[in-house]
Amino acid sequence: MTRHYFGTDGIRGTVGQPPITPDFVLRLAHAVGRVLKRTQARPTVLIGKDTRISGYMLESALESGFNSAGVDVVLLGPLPTPGVAYLTRAQRASLGVVISASHNAFADNGIKFFSAQGTKLPDAWEHDVEAALEEPPVWADSANLGKARRLDDAAGRYIEFCKSTFDSNLSLRGMKIVVDAANGAAYQIAPLVFHELGAEVIPIGCSPDGLNINRDVGATHPEALVRTVRERGAHLGIALDGDADRVLLVDGAGRLYNGDELLYLMVDDRLARGEAVPGTVGTLMTNMAVELALRRRGVEFVRAKVGDRYVLEELERRGWLLGGEGSGHLLALDKHTTGDGLVSALQVLNACMRSGKTLSQLLEPVRLYPQTLLNVRLQPGQDWKSSTRLAQAQREVEAQLGETGRVLIRPSGTEPVLRVMVEAADEGLARACAQRLVEAVQAG
């Protein structure tokens, strides 16, 4: 069955355009409620949101839709996506719902769901919901309507959870840390987490107005963080995105570290403590230098499709704990059931404080390979997969790169464009090889 509404991470779009309209979101919540009631007499759903102005409207629609199906609702207010996942599990709720479009601008919004265990839900569940959306509503009568209440200390509970993932024998005293919450869901929580662990915190991107989420701040725009770290003489900078499930770090010199590097650091810290790390999962885009560095440490590395959902599926299939993406979605499944920017940052700080080393010192074994990514517009009906010219060019490029580089050619999921990526130890070689492949595509 093809999904009409659900994408790789819930339902997302522009507010005021289908499906992100109040009438559809009400119907969606009603359909989800009916699916829940097939197995539970009185389900309870938690609803959290980021700071977009549209969150008020969508929260009301969700509340009405769930209540109309006989489902109780607990409103959490602004809370990071991983915070909703944690509280869903901790509160023994039936489902967690997040109103967020993550790193997108304020004009977008979305709805995503977590299971009672705080995990992403399977495709089969999404298919059930889409089928229920096609059915006429069955409104509960007055005696069986759901109720709604607010959990006033939701933020405090999540703060304590985050702190519990940091080594209790360590402190951040003496550390000056710039915290950039992207004017998003963690704008109150993130500064408090690091402050309560002892750090001097300089907050930026912590003044949301409903319209400025992810605007020139946060993990998608780390320039503000780099600048502030340098200007204020901070030891470290931490950039979250709008719903705080991804993180990037900046060291005292203003050098930015992406998710690939932070994943290696998390693995290295486990190994330094004598823990077994049989393997880790990245994506098709993970930098080859990280893969090679992990293999030198005896850690198997596997690539999943791009998207934290696919990284999680591969980790669960193999029984491994650590994985992530260059964008900063990092998974440590012995700490949390989902990607969490704050928890990931604390794992990195654990490593720094335990070792007494800076990020640059800890990442000395990893020198990221230059990547050249070029987009080629495809002609209508162009079958690039059958192109013998492209296949021949790819074979020759891969032979030229050998073990010191790689090629990735994949279509865009949203436009008629082919993405050609070449990674090599030498930047000029990567650029030349990518251009050669682009010319082969254009030649047909």
The structure tokens listed for 142 are 């007055």
CB neighbour list of residue 291: distance below 8 Å, 6 or more residues apart: 282, 301
Catalytic pick from 54, 64, 102, 344?
102
Is the peptide bond preceding residue 22 cis, with omega within 30 degrees of 0? no
Q: How far is CA 396 from CA 338, 401, 406, 425, 430, in A?
A: 40, 9, 12, 17, 13
Bridging pattern class, strands 371-377 and 417-424: antiparallel
Amino acid at 387: S
H or E element at residue 70: none
3-state secondary structure of 75: strand
- Enumerate the H helices of 148-241 as residue ranges: 154-164, 189-196, 223-232
Q: Could you give phi then psi for residue 21, rounded to 5 degrees?
A: -125, 155
53: nearest Cα among 10, 99, 98, 96: 99
* Count of H-run helices and E-run strands, the chain: 14, 18
142 annotated active-site: no
242: nearest Cα among 26, 4, 5, 54: 54
Bridging pattern class, strands 200-204 and 176-180: parallel
3-state secondary structure of 314: helix
CB neighbour list of residue 367: distance below 8 Å, 6 or more residues apart: 289
Bridging pattern class, strands 279-283 and 322-324: parallel
Q: How far is CA 153 from CA 72, 87, 158, 319, 327, in A?
A: 18, 11, 9, 34, 31
The structure tokens listed for 114 are 């977590």
User: Would you list the DSSP string of 218-252?
Assistant: STT-THHHHHHHHHHT-SEEEEE-TTSS-EEEEET
Residues in a beta bridge with 373: 421
Task: Report the distance separating Cα 204 and Cα 222, nearest Å.
Answer: 11
Residues in a beta bridge with 300: 279
3-state secondary structure of 157: helix
List the catalytic residues. 102
